[in-house]
Amino acid sequence: MTVALITGANSGIGRAAAVDLAAKGWQVYGSMRSLDKAAKLDAMAEEKGATVNKVVCDVTDTESVNRAVAEVTEASGGIDVMVNNAGIGGNGVAEETPIELYEEVMDVNLYGTIRCVQAVLPQMRERGSGCIINISSIAGRIAAIGQSSYVASKWALEGLTEGLAQEVVPQGIRVALIEPGIVKTAILAKNTDAPNTTGAYDAHYRRLFGFYAAGLKAPGHPGEVADVIHAAATDDPPKFRYTCGWGGKELSENRAKVSDADWIALGAIEDDAAYAARFEELFGLKIAE
């Protein structure tokens, strides 16, 4: 039986993945900072006739991560699949984003993943097998406007994961990167704040929220990401990169075709309708009514 540890399993993608993979017959351990947050996870698992084992883990605390990995290892005999899903967002252009927010976002989205990787790799190396799946974002491929700290964390995660894949392949360990576009979660629906302290970036914030509003009309579902996680762990031959959710495929494929000059020129467009039209021309996504 495949044993998986999924971080951030109390909500959204992590919760859906934990339940769906448990329903597929995996032995799943879902981590969260407090078991008080597990009520909906338990209800969803019960509805599917599945069992998700819960474990306390704060990915910003190295001791907590090591303790959680040790607990799961002792209970299960070893972790086959590590899914680094725990993450937070962060709105704000570079000028208006406090260093403290960059630090907070990086501590969860990047350093949290590193802590989990470092905790689980020794046992995978010893066995000569295992799979590490890092949940990034399409913002790891395209610099989503008005989300400087989040984008920075996900671009760093992409670099970490590409390097990790080469580092551990001789050990028989597979590494995969999942880059969801817009997926309907409670956190995303509440993502409506931006600092806008100078007033100089009104257009950027309008376009940020307009982009998400467009995606939320037909968003991906957390269960879709759960299916991709399963594929990332089982595909033969293995693949490294996966996209899913609204805009995932279009943004990933088309950003590679957009020149740096065209990308920068997009930001210089003053009229929102003209911006939306050019965005659709470049990326194939309609973001205006």
Which residues are catalytic, by number?
A: 150
Q: Please state, in angstroms and rounded to a whole number, the distance separating the CA atoms of residues 278 and 285.
A: 10
Pick from 104, 46, 52, 105: which is nearest to 83 by CA?
Answer: 52
Pick from 83, 21, 11: which is nearest to 41 by CA?
Answer: 11
Integer angstrom CA distances of residue 270 from 72, 280, 283: 53, 16, 19
The type of residue at 97 is: T
* Contact present, 222 and 17 (Cβ < 8 Å): yes
Q: Please state, in angstroms and rounded to a whole number, the distance separating the CA atoms of residues 233 and 235.
A: 6
By CB atoms closer than 10 A (0-12, 13-18, 19+), residue 123 is: middle
* Contact present, 73 and 79 (Cβ < 8 Å): yes
By CB atoms closer than 10 A (0-12, 13-18, 19+), residue 193 is: exposed
Q: Please state, in angstroms and rounded to a whole number, the distance separating the CA atoms of residues 196 and 24.
A: 45
* Contact present, 7 and 84 (Cβ < 8 Å): yes
Those residues with Cβ within 8 angstroms of residue 202's Cβ, 6 or more apart along the chain or in another chain: 196
Q: Which residues of 138-175 are buried (b: 16+ CB within 10 A; e: fewer)?
A: bbbbbbbbbbbbbbbbbbbbbebbeebbeebeeeebbb
